[in-house]
Structure 1
Amino acid sequence: MSAPLADALATALGRPVARLTPIARGDLNDAYVATLADGERVFVKTSADAAVGGYAAEAEGLAWLADADALPLPRVLAVGDGAASPAPAAPHAPAASHAPAASHAPAASPAPVAPRFLALEWIDAGPATAAADEALGRGLAALHAAGAPQFGGPADTLRIGPLALPNAPAPDWPEFYATRRLLPLARGAADRGALPPGTEALLDRVIERMPALAGPPEPPARAHGDLWGGNVLTDRAGRPWLIDPAAHGAHRELDLAMLRLFGGPYQRCFAAYEEVAPLAPGAQERVALWQLAPLLLHAVLFGGGYGERAAQILRRYA
């Protein structure tokens, strides 16, 4: 068991941690199930390179999405921000008339940093079902309808793992998507060498066309922001839960497009969504456009073939 993490968690929860068990969950964090002394289980995510304030921002995003009362999200139980522990005071040396002018004592070691973590309500997972897919579609429609004050925000920076994306509000969705998502992500992917030659020129042409490509104007939706299939969890009662958000005001088609990106049994989800909140004409033609940002994000984080997939989409829309 990671003693520093267990100690920090016990302090934050006010209860002893009997056991920390590693579990598989995601690529950007280490995940554990913490069993408390009274038997309660808690989900814990942590990362050695987590940014200060990153988990606090995720906790705020979970609360903001939960306020819509549309789909269940795990309760936040504790946030560890990883502040440095106070360094012990150096002993006071008495004055000496023959003391050397300069001290040769070794430099003080940096103050230890407590683990950064997010502790959440544990969800017992069950099998995905068609009924859960339908509930997900209806719930997403209600979540998006709850709205957001602007495209982007509330913080000017959105953190996804080690990345910090600009998130300041923009006057409309085409500008936000182009300047706060596609351009910075493409720069990051290019710096990693993950984009084929000519991709940036294609992106410039797509951005020029973005106002026409983006479809009819829509108000900002309250969006999960990172809604691939792994961030939907069905519990034993058949209810779909949303986890690991990058919540912000966005076009509602963004969440739906990302749900389609990596596959999943979601056809009933999309049908149920449209029964509640029909999409604007041309939505099917815009799916790949909204998939550009998550593909570029994956190119930045993981390289591989994600940059080529993004370039193929850019060729289509350029």
Structure 2
Amino acid sequence: MNQRTRRRFLVAAALSAAACLQPTRARAGDAEACFTASEEGQRLRDEGRLREARARFITCGGAACPDLVQSDCAGWLSDVEARVPTLILSAQDEQGHDVAEVRVTIDGAPLAARLDGKAVEVDPGERVLRFERAGNAHVALRLVVREGEKLRRVSVRLVRAGAPGGAAAAPREDRAAPPAGVPLLPITLGGVAAVAGGAYAAFGLSARADADRLRATCAPRCDEADVDAVRTKILAANVAFGVGVAALGGAAAALLLRRAEPAAPAAAAAVHVVPLPGGAAAAVGARF
């Protein structure tokens, strides 16, 4: 016997006893209705239909139901009440003035006949709200409503039917503005600076170790190829240093520009390094 069957058996036994001992409080028909409401409420709650589940729990938590059922339903009712999301709906006309004579539906079902500023309850999940007003193009708003989300503000702007962007035949979905983009340019330049710094350290340490070895073994008559190898590593270290400095400066400049003009399009930057005898010259450029 599984848990649900065992629970149903116990509740049925309690209902039978209650019907016998307290006939004025819980008749057999009332007891069965209480038990049915309890099971339906749990099923609706698990399906995310919280408003319907709450109605069932109110029924089975009433005084006409046996104490055992009342107790369970009261606990479930409290849980569902906390999980039901609420929205505060508003709409403005083209001048930005609030308008109240707006009809709102959710997933095609009526939600509000007019906007009065009061919170409305909805079930959690992905929902489509449709705002309609005489003389205006309707607005369809798709959003994800989360369990326990209370007093979420949802606002739309209505435009005249036939106005640019307001054709009634082309429903418009207002979505929440996307979050600010990841600062790819500063991150990329910072990564270049880090890699260049590692290369600078590696080439520099290797060149120093080779130079010390040549001084200790063959200076001043070392083979020219060995000397050239040391010079090449020194040049590579200097180039890497130049690239690192230029990339670091470019990352800092990109961050400053991003903060100063958050709405500006992303800048395209390039780092130019020119090897020179004994070192390197580096420059960073950007196109906006």
TM over 0.5: no
Give the structure with the higher percent helix.
2
Report 1 or 2 for greater relative contact order, CA contacts < 8 Å, sequence distance ≥ 6: 1
Task: Give the structure with higher Rg (CA).
Answer: 2
TM-score of the two chains, using structure 2 as the length reference: 0.20
TM-score of the two chains, using structure 1 as the length reference: 0.18
